[in-house]
A and B are shown apart, each in its own frame.
Chain A
Amino acid sequence: MPLMILLGVPLLAAIVLAFIGDRKFAPEINILGSAATFAAGIGLALEVYAHGPMLAAGNFFFVDAFNVYLSVLTSFVSMTTAIFSRRYMRKEREHGRIGHMRMRFYHAMFQLFIFAMLLCLLTNNVGVLWIAMELATLSTVLLVSLYRTPSAIEAAWKYFILCGVGIALALFGTVLLYFAAEKVLGEGGQALLWTNLSQVSGKLEPTVLSLAFVFLMVGYGTKVGLVPVHNWLPDAHSEGPTPISAVLSGLLLNVALYALVRCKVLIDGSTGTHHAGNIMMGFGLLSIIVAAFSLLRQKDIKRMFAYSSIEHMGIATFAFGLGGPIATFGALLHMLVHSLTKSSIFFTVGHASQMHRTQEMDKIKGLLKGNPLVGWGLMFGVMAIAGMPPFGVFTSEFLILTATIKDAPFLTPFLLLGFGVAFAALFKKVQPMIAGAAPSYQRNLKAAHIPVILHMALVLLIGIYMPAFLNQWFHKAVELLK
């Protein structure tokens, strides 16, 4: 039952907000909607925690340890983003950057986007997963071009075309997957269900599946933002309104990686070789190195954190590719803490750019003096994302690095290079923004402190004291993914 609420509420909210999106109380409805989704998510999680993996609605939906924690994460971050967007969007309205019609469009598409992601996570059908992914992309394309500036439209166009091509390739991969599955599971919809596929993955035809995996890898890899096909990500995440960048960076990348990992499990089952893992490790490593070095050159604050998302997604993909209990545990933990930290950083970045009316990092100065919450929030956020220990990101990097030394020691220098350069670049850019005296053109504003404090507290908690149930989930998920 909570599953129906979990999917129904965002859809309903999207429709409702489409009409009353610009009323005074519209942001409150938005928050209410995502809060209800979050509650439903927790309900579903408790159910799964109690009774283990479950199928619903005539095995159209499938919920197990792996996707339930992602759906709870998605609903939670969308709630906090809704809280943040209430104050952020009101300020944007004051600055006159968004009109009446576009505000309604924004709220509606926000909820539709959440619905699409949750559908993508929870569906049991590979085809429906593809459709949900396509829906998620389409719903955010117009959001990225909300401000109608030339660069926003350019970013949206590239996002639309590149992700469209990527997803089309993924469709071809799905077709091949279906072709191989049909031989074993027979006609009709049965051949596309994860549950059936995972049971029968041993008997699937290896050559076709590895061919399918290549297309799926490049297709969903484009959505995850892995390096050779990452070019849309920095533009899309830096041009859209900040709540959208936060949700894109925090959640959509996770969902795409979830789909990729599901396929990898199937392929490993059928081919029995580590090819799929090696390809993922290759993409992951390339992403870490290229993203780390490109961090050094950034001038726009949101663009820099978009590259940081590429780097962290590279780390997670690398870890999933590496396989083994500790690396997979580290990767799952990394997806969780990365989305929490990255969204919190985008909240503070949103406020910072509003305070200075620009996203140029050279013009943003003296945040600590100007608005302590934004200043300290950004500082701790960057420390967390750079992998400084008290925060959870370090724990996952710790596990992944130590696993790499054992299984693939010759790769550790590249990882070390990537981590070191990214750390140096982030601090080099952020420190001038934090320290120093506040410039004259800085306008202080009342920042949305709940989301930032909530996220950083959670990341700190995971870093220092990992709750037992979360650990349970990860271990169950690790069994699934082995």
Chain B
Amino acid sequence: MTFSSIDIASYSILLLLITAISASLLNRSQKLLITIGFSLTTIASFLAVAAGAWTVGSNLTNKVILPAGLPDLLFHLRLDPLSGFFLTVIGLLSFFVSIYSIGYIKGFLGHRPVTSLIIFYCLFLAGMFMVVLADDALFFLISWEIMAAASYFLVMFEDEKIENRRAAFLYIIVAHVGAIAILLSFGIMAGLTTGFQGFSGYTFDAMRATKFPLGWATAAFLLAFFGFAAKAGVIPLHVWLPEAHPVAPSNISALMSGVMLKTAIYGIIRISFDLLKVFPWWWGAIVLVFGLVSAVMGVLYALMQHDLKRLLAYHSVENIGIILIGIGLSMIFTSFQMPLLAALALTAGLFHTMNHAMFKGLLFMGAGAVLHATHERNMEEMGGLIHKMPWTAALFLVGCISISALPPFNGFVSEWLTFQAFLLSPSLPSPLLNLLIPMGAALLALTGALAAACFVKAFGVTFLGHWRGHHNPNIKEADWPMRIGMLLSALTCLGLGILPTLFIDWMDALSEQLVGAKIASSATGLGWMWLTPIAHDRASYSGPIVFVGIMAVVVIAYVLLHSRPAAIHRVPIWDCGFEKINQRMQYNATSFSMPIRRIFGFLFSIKENVRLVSYLGNAVFPKRLHYHLRIRDLFWGWLYKPVVKASFWASRQVGRLQQGRIQVYLIYSFVTIIILLVFLR
């Protein structure tokens, strides 16, 4: 009984739905529920990875029509290389996070039933897998909002805290507005396909077959991009992301940051490359500009945070920006009929999608372990955790290096490919683009460097130095399932960093399907060790040699220096002879980011006030210093406050309609009759 790849994928979704339903039965024994529940999700995500990897690897495309949905518009499922790739990304991270959750969720055992968390966790995964498989507008939107609704309940899991509720509410509003925008865009496309005689217009195949007029295609694209940008957290619509991800349980925020944002990227690629196909160059320019703005602003906001998970959430905004840069460039190249360059840019964007899923998932899992141990999210209260949590520290370090795009790890490879795509832009015919795109390259470099600064801060303040917290709880290392989850994703980060050519060979079917050109042959021109994007003399990078080179020199130096037994003395801190050092004298998150805050201050709304309490009122003898700093996202003031104020104003006007006196109501109906009659004559 041969299984096609889509059968495996649908079995994994089925398994998830069964787990969700059966979870409520095991309500009594919570411990058992956790282990069984999450092992089932692990199996399900493994199945999804297998299906996805098989599809992309051997470039299959198969379709299935489910008997569900409206009789004239049944749910169509389709597993082609594009959905296969995203299925692999989502499956892989959910595989790691499910293992991690077995350990992490045990922390909730004491004071909260976890049944609802597991049910919605399974629905959340099932929703993501279905979004990627959907092949018609109705099923796509249904799975899109199942994913949104499930993650809404997950964000609201610890609902006694006020910021959870506020974040969940903000999240569901932005998600729903985005969904309506996507719905409108599908409506336009479906309308143009068959002119609404029947329901057949809604299937993606019908949309692929139609040639859309430019005006309507632009409207559809802009609506879809707005909708998906709201879900991906692109800058003007990102406000929910730094609110929702920190408050969710860490394994959920790992999944939300790691892969849920990727479903929005999948949506943008599916709409622009697959459904609309022909598009003018300025679409790509829009995506590129939004990508750049998100990247730079995302990292700058991240630098200002002192809440670990909020910092990671803002970094998701930055990395989504980098992915959009790759996609934007590839759209520009496609519109100028340069398939090979488009394939390179697209591969860079998709490679970064996989990388971001891996290291962001790892970082959130690490943050979860830290939160689990110290019950503290504020970095100013942590420090010196490397001594008590060596495993978590080492794995978190791997995540930090990868996200800062540093050589041996995967972050660098995708950012390097994006740079190569930028460097190819001078071959574009339009002179204006030739001048402007390199500016984007500079902004991307700035983002990379700022990310490195931010993660030195994050790792340094959290794990290094002395413990800064007032009370010091007994911190225990994360238990073994959490460590395994993190270790696996760390190894994947290293593997992708060292052997990028294998990954690019595997995902080559993707660029073939979307832009019609393969770059695998040129990318591995010099052999599997060297990654040469277009031509080997143009640019080349060899992951394995860099890793082996550094390790070789390190080992040689270590062996040579340790040939003679030289003692190591442990002494109190030198610090230029200053003895009375205490843990409050260390640099913390706010002080670390002070120089950058001073330089880029104009981008935030900063309220900083210093209050000095001095002996007998003489400022020369300070007793205590109160320093308060509040950094707020500018977009709250520009975009969201006015919208909220306007809607409350409108509702006050509408409230005046209901005055309570019956005569007024009678006048309303009387006037309505008169007006209608007048118009009629």
Contact = CB atoms under 8 A, between A and B. Distances in A.
A220 to B, nearest CB: 12
B197 interface: yes
A157 B662 contact: yes
Given A165-B666, A465-B67, A412 B680 contact: no
A425 B176 CA distance: 13
A429 B289 CA distance: 37
B144 interface: yes
B648 A296 contact: yes
A402 B190 contact: yes
Contacts of A424: 173, 647
Interface string A418-430: 0111011101100
B71 A466 contact: yes
A463 interface: yes
A395 B138 contact: yes
A457 interface: no
Interface in A185-199: none
Contacts of B70: 395, 466, 471
B658 interface: yes
B187 A401 contact: yes
B145 interface: yes
A214 B676 contact: yes
B169 A290 contact: no
A20 B288 CA distance: 75
Contacts of A427: 169, 172-173
A294 B654 contact: yes
Q: Is the interface of B mostly helix, strand, loop or mixed?
A: helix
A284 interface: no
Interface stretch (A53-61, A246-254, A256-264, A382-390): A382-390
Nearest to A435: B159
B680 A214 contact: yes
Contacts of B160: 435-437
B145 A388 contact: yes
Given A162-B665, A431-B168, A390 B149 contact: yes
Interface string A155-189: 00110011001100100000000000000000000
B180 interface: yes
Interface string A215-255: 10110001000001101101000000000000000000000
A402 B183 contact: yes
B676 A279 contact: yes
Interface string A374-414: 00000000010011111000110010011111110000100
A161 B180 CA distance: 40
Contacts of B148: 388
A211 interface: yes
Nearest to B142: A389
B655 interface: yes
| Residue of B69, B144, B146, B651 with highest tally of chain A CB at under 10 A | B651
Contact of B183 (A326, A398, A407, A428): A398
B564 interface: no
A214 B666 CA distance: 17
A438 B669 CA distance: 44
A325 interface: yes
A293 B650 contact: yes
Contacts of A388: 145, 148-149, 176
Given A279-B676, A293-B651, A402 B665 contact: no
A94 B197 CA distance: 57
Contacts of A166: 669
B395 interface: no
Contacts of A421: 647
A229 B665 CA distance: 7
A297 interface: yes
Contacts of B145: 388-390, 394
A228 B672 contact: yes
A389 B168 contact: no
Contact of A406 (B180, B181, B195): B195
Given A293-B651, A294-B658, A296-B647, A326 B165 contact: no
Interface in B163-183: 164-165, 168-169, 172-173, 176-177, 179-181, 183
Interface string B114-149: 000000000000000000000001100111111011
Contacts of A420: 173, 176-177, 180
B642 to A, nearest CB: 15
A436 B160 CA distance: 4
A419 B191 contact: no
Interface string A446-482: 0000000000000000011110100100000000000
B677 interface: yes
B196 A326 contact: yes
A215 B669 CA distance: 11
A453 to B, nearest CB: 13
B156 interface: yes
Contact of B672 (A229, A404, A464, A471): A229
Interface string B187-200: 11011000111110
Range of interface residues on chain B? 35 or more
B647 A468 contact: no
A105 to B, nearest CB: 25
Q: Is the interface of A mostly helix, strand, loop or mixed?
A: helix
B184 interface: yes
B668 interface: yes
B142 A463 contact: yes
B631 interface: no
B186 interface: yes
Given A279-B676, A294-B655, A406 B191 contact: yes
Contacts of B32: none
A210 interface: yes
A324 interface: yes
Contact of B196 (A229, A403, A428): A403
A136 interface: no
Given A406-B195, A423-B173, A427-B169, A293 B149 contact: no
B657 interface: yes
Contact of A228 (B142, B198, B668): B668
B72 interface: yes
A368 interface: yes
A43 interface: no
B186 A390 contact: no
A416 interface: yes
B652 interface: yes
Interface string B43-85: 0000000000000000000000001111110000000000000
A183 B426 CA distance: 80
A293 B677 CA distance: 28
Given A394-B142, A464-B68, A465-B67, A326 B199 contact: yes
A127 interface: no
| Residue of B148, B177, B195 with highest tally of chain A CB at under 10 A | B177
Contact of B676 (A218, A222, A404, A465): A218
Contacts of B435: none
Given A297-B655, A420-B180, A466-B70, A394 B191 contact: no
Nearest to B190: A402
30 contacts: A161-B662, A161-B666, A210-B680, A222-B669, A231-B665, A232-B665, A290-B654, A293-B653, A294-B657, A296-B647, A297-B655, A326-B196, A368-B159, A386-B176, A388-B176, A389-B141, A389-B146, A401-B187, A402-B190, A402-B202, A405-B187, A407-B196, A419-B180, A420-B173, A423-B176, A435-B160, A436-B165, A465-B67, A466-B69, A468-B71
Interface of B: 67-72, 137-138, 141-146, 148-149, 156, 159-160, 164-165, 168-169, 172-173, 176-177, 179-181, 183-184, 186-188, 190-191, 195-199, 202, 647-648, 650-655, 657-658, 662, 664-666, 668-669, 671-673, 676-677, 680
Given A435-B156, A435-B160, 10 more contacts: A229-B665, A231-B665, A294-B658, A326-B199, A389-B145, A402-B137, A406-B195, A420-B177, A423-B176, A465-B67
List 5 tightest A-B contacts by C-beta distance, closest first: A402-B187, A406-B191, A435-B159, A389-B145, A296-B651
